[in-house]
Amino acid sequence: MESYREQAREWLAQDPDPETRAELSALLANGAGLAERFGAKLEFGTAGLRGELGAGPNRMNRVTVMRAAAGLATVLGAGASVVIGYDARHGSARFAEDTAAVATGAGLTAWLLPEPLPTPMLAHAVRHLGADAGVMVTASHNPARDNGYKVYWGDGAQIVPPLDTRISAAIDAVGRVDELPIGTGWTVLGDDIVEAYLASLSRLPLGDDRDVAIAYTPLHGVGRDVVLRAFARAGFPPPTVVTEQAAPDPDFPTVAFPNPEEPGAMDLALALGAATGADLVLANDPDADRCAVGVPLPAGGWRLLTGDEVGGLLAEHVLRHTYGPDRLVVTTIVSSTQLRKIAAHHDVRFAESLTGFKWIMKAGSPGERLVYGYEEALGYSLGGDEGLPVHDKDGIGAALAVAAAAASTPRRNCPSGSTTPH
């Protein structure tokens, strides 16, 4: 216990955050909880960092984030560039600014996205700006008490081994964060970075049909405004948004777990779909890199499609709107085998990868053109004949493509009297 107390005192001396300093001071006063905070640490891996907010090395906090930023800066080296994004979770904006401050202090060029924005926009920005790396501060669909730190490389995809090991070792070598050189010269990007992402989505294979009514929820995340802009730019009617879940809220007050796969998370969206006679219900998770789909049943009620079902539907849509035998479609080893059959039917290349989009993006061989990848956990990335605009899962691009597929599907009259795609 005395060892934990000493570690806690050292942590307290360098912590720049008054909230976690007060938390740690209270822990030191009563001696409770120190072993859990200081007996382990968040490990940096291919998914970056993710954990509960709070003081100590086994929590997400400003010291943990500054150490991660310093380790990444060491691996990148002075003169490199990094673009930094963040969602609307507790602490995200502060963690993003700390990353920019540490990066510029280490001699890097740092760009900061202008506001809380979706993860796929950060992945797109890395390649659009020609950055050497990207950081996204998000815990995706984790509970409200969590936050996280994803790292992307210059190809716009999440890092893979052995790069994660190099960054982890560099983080471990960082000393006190109050002794790090801190810069102030980062650039806050403007709305043109959002426009660049939206322009890339307008080149997706969306066809010409636009007659589709959609009910949508961002699940208290950052998807709403970008989704509405993307649908307007592509010429679709504006989705009707679940009012109670429309604005970003880091407490996620209407859901026990902000993941569209969890029971009950889609209830408000499905109710809105029924009330408005929508053709589809769509949902993004809080950082908008996943997309869930609900469809009305002919006899009434709704059914949520599985990730594999949406994966197959989107594969058919993409392959009907793209051309060339060099096209490649990829899914993971834990997803359905149907994509292999769809690829064979369309006479295009197929590959299987390990779980995770970082591996989907690495699949295939030279000369193959990746036009579509998906994993069963509601993650999809699709492109046209120019390739993929986002080298990661993209819940906004997927929402557009699902809307396009539904709009191009012949209608039938259901027993209830409503008209819906079938």
Rounded Cα gap, residues 79 and 109, in angstroms: 7
pLDDT digits (tens, 9 = 90+) for 306-321: 999 999 999 999 999 9
**Domain spans of the chain, in order of start:** 43-190, 196-421
Identify the pLDDT of residue 73: 98
Rounded Cα gap, residues 391 and 123, in angstroms: 7
Which residues have a catalytic role annotated? Answer: 140
**What CATH number does domain 43-190 carry, 3.40.120.10, 3.40.1160.10, 2.70.98.10, 3.20.20.140?**
3.40.120.10
Give the closest residue to 194 by CA, choosing from 218, 241, 242, 226: 226
| pLDDT at position 135 over 90 | yes
Identify the pLDDT of residue 414: 46
Question: Do 43-190 and 196-421 have matching folds?
Answer: yes
Query: What is the Rg, in whole angstroms, of the alpha carbon atoms belonging to the chain?
Result: 22
pLDDT digits (tens, 9 = 90+) for 106-126: 999 999 999 999 999 999 999
pLDDT digits (tens, 9 = 90+) for 52-71: 999 999 999 999 999 999 99
Comparing 399 with 420, which gets the higher pLDDT?
399
Amino acid at 5: R
Both structure tokens of 130: 């020609």
pLDDT digits (tens, 9 = 90+) for 164-210: 999 999 999 999 999 999 999 999 999 999 999 999 998 899 999 99
> Across-strand partners of 348?
none
pLDDT digits (tens, 9 = 90+) for 7-38: 999 999 999 999 999 999 999 998 888 999 99
Confidence band for 386, pLDDT divided at 50, 70 and 90: confident
Identify the pLDDT of residue 415: 41
Identify the pLDDT of residue 47: 87
Please state whether the peptide bond connecting residue 410 to the residue before it is cis, i.e. omega within 30 degrees of 0: no
Torsion of CA 248, 259, 352, 402, to 10 degrees: -70
| pLDDT at position 280 over 80 | yes
Identify the pLDDT of residue 411: 64
Write down the CATH superfamily of domain 196-421.
Answer: Alpha-D-Glucose-1,6-Bisphosphate, subunit A, domain 3 (3.40.120.10)
| pLDDT at position 137 over 60 | yes
Find out whether 416 and 300 touch, Cβ atoms under 8 Å.
yes
Comparing 87 with 415, which gets the higher pLDDT?
87
